[in-house]
Amino acid sequence: AAPTASLHFDVALMDALKARGVATTYVTLHVGAGTFLPVKVDDVTTHKMHAEWGQVSARAAQDIADAKAQGGRVIPVGTTALRLIETMARDNGVSPWEGETDIFIYPGFPFRVADGLMTNFHLPKSTLMMLVAALMGQDRIKHIYDHAVAQGYRFFSYGDASLLLPETHTDKTDTTKS
């Protein structure tokens, strides 16, 4: 699948972020169709994700470790990047990682690396919706999505993006952006 969350970033925006001191790094996850399938079980702990291959290079792992050590935030662009760095951390801490992941992130998940997320708006009952609810809390994500619907935001792969910052990393203002 295309990394659609990153489609919002053109050269001008990347240059502007760099000028403001935002560091970037890149990871690779080959996303399969299973990521986008709805959850069809009543007990989410029994849902099985399809395995997907990914890699966090030595450079990317060092960039992430440096950001954390300097008190910076790690904000993946896209649920796939978030899933990959959380797999890395679960398996090895913040260090190079390569292999298959079938990580399923749902409410109650203990995040080890991600401090926020830039992503598009997702379908109800999807693994992606559960991931954002795990990060933001179910009540807050419902409020964010109610706002998006009321304002006519575009959903799905080529829709609007949102910058999701859990309240522990914000001043408790609404962080929804289009």
In tens, the pLDDT along 2-18 reads 678 888 889 999 999 99
CA distance 30 to 73: 25
Q: What is the pLDDT of residue 84?
A: 94
Between 46 and 86, the higher pLDDT residue: 86
Residue type, 149: V
- pLDDT tier for residue 25 given thresholds of 50, 70 and 90: very high
3-state secondary structure 88-138: HHHHHCCCCEEEEECCCCCCCCCCCCCCCEEEECCCCCEHHHHHHHHHHCH
Q: Does domain 4-169 have CATH number 3.40.50.620?
A: no
Report the predicted TM-score, pTM, of the whole model to 2 decimal places.
0.86
Average pLDDT over residues 95-118: 95
Q: What is the pLDDT of residues 114-142, one digit of tens each?
A: 999 999 998 888 888 999 999 999 999 99
3-state secondary structure the chain: CCCHHHHHCCHHHHHHHHHCCCCCCCCEECCCHHHHCECCCCCHHHCCCCCEEEEECHHHHHHHHHHHHCCCCCCCECHHHHHHHHHHHHHHCCCCEEEEECCCCCCCCCCCCCCCEEEECCCCCEHHHHHHHHHHCHHHHHHHHHHHHHCCCCCCCCCCEEEECCHHHCCCCCCCCC
The dihedrals phi and psi of 45, each to the nearest 5 degrees, come to -70, -15
Q: What is the pLDDT of residues 32-80, one digit of tens each?
A: 776 667 788 888 888 888 888 999 999 999 999 999 999 999 999 999 9
Q: What is the pLDDT of residue 29?
A: 86
Q: What is the pLDDT of residue 133?
A: 95
Average pLDDT over residues 77-85: 93
Examine the pLDDT at 171 and tell me if it is beyond 80.
Answer: no
Average pLDDT over residues 166-171: 62
Residue (of 37, 23, 160) closest to 102 by Cα position:
37
